[in-house]
Amino acid sequence: MGGDFSGNAYKNMIHDVKNMDMNTLEKFAEKKDFEKNGLYTNSYKAEDALYNIIYKQAQYSNSYKEYVASVLDRQENGISIFVKGKYSKRLQQKIKADFSGFRNVKEKEIDAYGMERLLQADCFEIMMFGMIFLLAYILLIPEKNEGILRFYFAMPNGRNWLGFVKYGVGCFYAGIISVVFYGVKCLILSSLYGLGNLRVKVQSFYMFQGFPPNISGGEFLIGYGCYKILVGILFFSIFYALTLLWKKRNIAFTMIAGIFFLEGYFWFHIRDNSWLYLMRRINLIQFMDIRNILAQYSCVNVWNVPVHTYLVLVLACVLLIISSGVSGFLLYPVFAGENGRTLEIAGKTSFCWNLPSKMELLFYEIKKYWVCEKGWMLLLAVLCAGYFISGIQVQNAGDVDKLYYEKYMMEIQGKTVPEAKKYMQDILKEIQEWKTDLESDKTFSQEYISILEIGVKREKGAQKAYKKVLLQEKKKADHILYEKGYRLALGMGKEAFAFHFIEIFSAIAIAIFAFCVYGVDNKMERRLLLYSTYSGKNALIRSKCRMIIFWSIFLMGSLYGSWIYSVSRNYSIHHLNFHWNCVAGNALFGIIQTKIGVILFGFYGLHLLALIFLGMVVGNLTMREDSI
């Protein structure tokens, strides 16, 4: 969920530039432009992007007073792009009143990247979106399909209070889900990048340039958390009403298609200056991305009265919650009163008359778990996780010596040891010549001196790479391979934190899927029906085992495959026919003569077997509980 650079790199650079003035910072920028010609790795691109972010914040902090003064000066002199009228005069007065309070913002805060990422909608909002939809689904659909809902609805208080109670419980849990995801996101960003000084005014951060309330960063975090709760309840209210309206299991696809259709329609037919402009943000994920509203001072014309846009957004949330809640209350009697038992009985009767063979039973299980019984939600969650894992940046920017070391190790990757030794000796000889020119009394241009200084900076990285070549020569290895990619592929190193997340996530996913596979037939009548088929109980259990194996292979391909792809984007790991002792560094004892391909295949094969074993154990425990 972070950027293309690590948290350590960000903190190190913040420490380096925090005490610089703007002139020193600009000279630092010029040197980095020279370094681009010599350092062209992905790590340097990440470092350059990191520096641009910090430089942008420093420029903002340095010129914020001039920006506030220019805004107030325009309002004092009556300079406005609006036609003079009642609303424009009121807007000028409001701008003067708000920006007068910004004169007291004296702090300069350049540690702002964590706060910016907090405001950005990302995978946390998508997972929250899915969890709240699942909440609305669980509250309504299962009881309707089982026929229990009509029984509850026929009780004395059921008709009047059942829908209200379900909606209230759903709102409560939606708020809890929002708090949990928001809290976890704050913790992760705080540990990676930090959230800056939360005691200073929010206008000290560049993404709050036009935010009217003169509050501290800590107060904003509390207010933003309340807004997240409000949006979570809004999500649930909309899903609740749409679930009651469509009443079927395929409502997710209908809902998503409807939301994107409305988003497209509003985007192309509503102008920017229309009072319906906020309807263009009906896409619920984008509804949570409020960076544009915070960065630019804006008001909405409400009956010739300027009202802050963020207040209108909050009011729109509340009105949508009320309208969705009222709609759900009116739709619930129709939803609960219909007979949902007829189709289920008819389906079982049809199944009895068409007894499946072993192959048909397997495809029946696949259809049931991957399409009908919420298996598609697990499938979607795994695919989303795989997508985000494939985009993880595993290179660590920030240390120039490490960057040059990586640069030279990648250049000698796959070479024989004598070839690599000669190549590094030539590099060190060239660096020594630059060092001699720099220390001599010769006169050079300032630009050439800067180039020489940058060239000399390569010495430590080159020396480290040369030592690795000598170590490989001492080990009598045939070739030299950079160790970073292979260690990351095996889940080793500080940058491999995502690999441990994959291990935990895949274990949880296979456990949930196994519980669904073995627990979905817990109803006595369904179990008796399936066990009385032509293939019987043993074939049914075997089909469930095959489903566990298929799902484990799918997890390996989606999650672990994404990790391999993420590593291979930055480091070469394709020399699988070389022996492990070709990998630079201290090889593990006992497998130094084993081929790299065999090691990786065995490593991931053990993970696959562990997933299958875990799925079988959870499935057997589920069946044992069922038999009790």
Query: Do 302 and 336 have their domain in common?
Result: yes
Query: Do 13 and 90 have their domain in common?
Result: yes
- Whether the pLDDT of residue 628 is over 60: the answer is no
What residues pair up with 583 in beta bridges, in sequence order? 481
Query: Do 514 and 455 have their domain in common?
Result: no
What residues contact 567, with CB distance under 8 A and at least 6 apart? 394, 485, 488, 489, 573
- Whether the pLDDT of residue 456 is over 50: the answer is yes
Higher pLDDT, 475 or 443: 475
Model pTM above 0.75: no
Query: Do 513 and 474 have their domain in common?
Result: no
Query: Do 472 and 491 have their domain in common?
Result: no
- Whether the pLDDT of residue 449 is over 80: the answer is no
CA 38 to chain centre: 33
Looking at mean pLDDT, say which of 313-327, 433-447, 579-593 comes out highest: 313-327
Q: Quick one: pLDDT band at residue 564, thresholds 50, 70, 90?
A: confident
The pLDDT of residue 84 is: 55
- Whether the pLDDT of residue 418 is over 70: the answer is yes
Q: Which tens digits make up the pLDDT trace of 366-386?
A: 555 444 445 566 666 777 777
Query: Do 440 and 515 have their domain in common?
Result: no
The pLDDT of residue 346 is: 38
Nearest of 355, 378, 352, 368 to residue 539 by alpha carbon: 355
Looking at mean pLDDT, say which of 62-76, 234-248, 436-450, 544-558 comes out highest: 544-558
Residue 385 placed within a domain: no
Full DSSP string of 219-260: HHHHHHHHHHHHHHHHHHHHHHHHHHHH-STTHHHHHHHHHH
Residue 390 placed within a domain: no
Q: Which of 341, 362, 387 is the last residue of a domain?
A: 341
Q: Which tens digits make up the pLDDT trace of 175-189?
A: 888 888 888 888 887
Give the mean pLDDT of 418-444. 76
What residues pair up with 416 in beta bridges, in sequence order? 479
The pLDDT of residue 492 is: 79
CA 301 to chain centre: 36
Give the mean pLDDT of 528-537. 54
Q: Which of 313, 341, 369 is the last residue of a domain?
A: 341
The pLDDT of residue 127 is: 76
Q: Quick one: pLDDT band at residue 348, thresholds 50, 70, 90?
A: very low
Full DSSP string of 61-81: HHHHHHHHHHHHHHHHTT--S
How many other CB atoms are found less than 10 A from the CB of residue 574? Answer: 12
Q: For the chain, how are helix, strand and coil distributed in percent, rounded to 5?
A: 75, 5, 25
Token duo for residue 245: 């309206």
3-state SS, one letter per residue, for 364-426: HHHHHHHHHCCHHHHHHHHHHHHHHHHCCCCCCCCCHHHHHHHHHHHHCCCCEHHHHHHHHHH
The pLDDT of residue 98 is: 65
Give the mean pLDDT of 250-260. 54
Query: Do 467 and 494 have their domain in common?
Result: no
What's the Cα-to-Cα distance from 317 to each of 229, 233, 327, 331, rounded to whole Å?
11, 9, 15, 21
The pLDDT of residue 82 is: 44
CB 578 within 8 A of CB 596: yes
The pLDDT of residue 140 is: 72
Query: Do 506 and 553 have their domain in common?
Result: yes
Q: State the chain's mean pLDDT as an integer.
A: 68
- Whether the pLDDT of residue 285 is over 60: the answer is no
Residue 497 placed within a domain: yes
Specify the DSSP class assigned to residue 201.
B
Question: Quick one: angle between helices 42-76 and 22-38, nearest 10?
Answer: 150
How far is 502 from 488, CA to CA, in rounded Å?
13
Looking at mean pLDDT, say which of 54-63, 519-528, 539-548 comes out highest: 539-548
Nearest of 547, 545, 546, 556 to residue 611 by alpha carbon: 556
What's the Cα-to-Cα distance from 86 to each of 301, 420, 559, rounded to whole Å?
11, 77, 59
Residue 539 placed within a domain: yes
Q: Quick one: pLDDT band at residue 517, thresholds 50, 70, 90?
A: confident
Query: Which residues in 297-329 are b (16+ Cβ under 10 Å) and which e?
Result: bbbbeeeeebebbbebbbebbeebbeebbebbe
Residue 141 placed within a domain: yes
Quote the domain boundaries for residue 620. Answer: 487-627
Q: Which tens digits make up the pLDDT trace of 316-343?
A: 778 778 877 777 767 666 665 644 343 3
Full DSSP string of 466-530: HHHHHHHHHTT-SB-B-HHHHHHHTT-SGGGHHHHHHHHHHHHHHHHHHHHHHHTT-SHHHHHHH
The pLDDT of residue 215 is: 75
3-state SS, one letter per residue, for 514-577: HHHHHHCCCCHHHHHHHHCCCCHHHHHHHHHHHHHHHHHHHHHHHHHHHHHHHHHHHCCCCCCC
Higher pLDDT, 394 or 344: 394
Residue 32 placed within a domain: yes
Give the mean pLDDT of 107-119. 70
Query: Which residues in 122-153 are b (16+ Cβ under 10 Å) and which e?
Result: bebbebbbebbbebbbebbbebbeeeebbeeb
The pLDDT of residue 48 is: 61
The pLDDT of residue 51 is: 66
The pLDDT of residue 170 is: 83
Main-chain phi, psi angles of 520, to 5 degrees: -70, -25
The pLDDT of residue 27 is: 61
- Whether the pLDDT of residue 488 is over 70: the answer is yes
How far is 254 from 247, CA to CA, in rounded Å?
11
Q: Which tens digits make up the pLDDT trace of 143-152?
A: 555 555 555 5
Q: Which of 287, 315, 341 is the last residue of a domain?
A: 341
Specify the DSSP class assigned to residue 299.
E
Query: Do 304 and 209 have their domain in common?
Result: yes
Higher pLDDT, 67 or 264: 67
Residue 120 placed within a domain: yes
Query: Do 286 and 162 have their domain in common?
Result: yes
For the chain, the domain total comes to: 3
Residue 381 placed within a domain: no
The pLDDT of residue 618 is: 82
What residues contact 428, with CB distance under 8 A and at least 6 apart? 459, 462, 463, 466
Query: Do 302 and 166 have their domain in common?
Result: yes
Specify the DSSP class assigned to residue 279.
G
- The helix/strand/coil state of 1 is coil
Query: Do 576 and 456 have their domain in common?
Result: no
Higher pLDDT, 250 or 485: 485
Q: Which tens digits make up the pLDDT trace of 9-46?
A: 666 666 666 666 656 666 665 555 555 554 444 555 55
What's the Cα-to-Cα distance from 503 to each of 246, 496, 628, rounded to whole Å?
38, 11, 32
